[in-house]
Structure 1
Amino acid sequence: MKYPVYLHQADSGTYSGFVPDVPGCYFAGDTIDDAIADAHAAIDAYLEYQSEKGQDVPAARSMNAHKDDEDCQGGMWGFVDIDTSKYEGKATKLNITLPQNLLRRIDAYVSSNGEFSSRSGFIAELARRELLKRS
């Protein structure tokens, strides 16, 4: 999931910012690259903590959703891409029924597309995408 991050430069030349979609998530760095790296670490720590408490991963909204926020004026935007699947909890095995031809097409797609490592990964990612649309 790509989280928008908002940065501003201090008079000292360093950078700091926050993640509008992750409450209380702040970061800083001597350079923009350092600040973005710290943003990644801050989001990771927040999501890990929320996961331990059994909380859902907050959805990332677009930069456009924040453009009128008074805290997001006069600085710059960036993105931090986080693999949120590791915060969804322990994998659970389940038994589902799918039509044979559909399953064959899924397997062919997974084997020819490097984005997914398994049919389970494919189905889970499609479910994530669909659920994000509903958030």
Structure 2
Amino acid sequence: MTHYVGILDGADDVWGVGVPDLPGCHGGGASPDEAIADATSAVREWAEARMAKHLPLPDARKVADLLQLGGIDSAGGESAVMIAVLIDSGRPVRANLSLDAGLLAAIDAEASRRGLTRSAFIASAAREKIEGHR
């Protein structure tokens, strides 16, 4: 899995994250967490659109490289955040999991409430955890 550096900046209820290695890719929100979550979705969409055109993804630079190039203005309040890129392969694979019976019942109830299958619910929860959504 690839991680791109995002640059978080903002104050009060206006926050944004730009991803220097992915031109035009950015996210925003009323809090840092919302802006990071939005940027994570934007990175996935950016990458999927690029891959649909059979174009490679740009190499992800390191935070140290961006700092050295002046790409992050820490004195001006900018912070580096890591944005995970999780791209679906489009090929489902069967997996055997062992879960506590009580947890499985709770998963099934919540999946049903949301109109999802157990697999879709677990995949969604895993994606949120990997991508850092709260």
Question: Under a length normalisation based on structure 1, what TM-score does the superposition of the two structures give?
Answer: 0.57
Q: Percent identity?
A: 26
Letter in 2 for 1:76: S
> Gapped runs of 5+ residues in structure 2?
92-134
**Residue in 2 that maps onto 1:44:** 44
**Residue in 2 that maps onto 1:108:** none
Q: Distance in 2 between matches of 1:33 and 1:63?
A: 19
Q: Distance in 1 between matches of 2:70 and 2:16?
A: 16
Helix, strand or coil at the partner of 1:42:
helix
Q: Which has the larger radius of gyration?
A: 1
Q: Distance in 1 between matches of 2:45 and 2:66?
A: 23
Q: Which runs of 4+ in 1 moved over 4 A?
A: none
Pair 1:81-2:84 in alignment: yes
Pair 1:2-2:3 in alignment: yes
Q: Does structure 2 conserve the Cα–Cα contact (< 8 Å) formed by 1:2 and 1:60?
A: yes
Letter in 1 for 2:48: E
How many residues of Structure 1 are paired with residues of Structure 2 in the alignment?
87
Q: Does structure 1 conserve the Cα–Cα contact (< 8 Å) formed by 2:13 and 2:29?
A: no
**Offset at residue 59 of structure 1 (A):** 1.7
> Gapped runs of 5+ residues in structure 1?
92-135
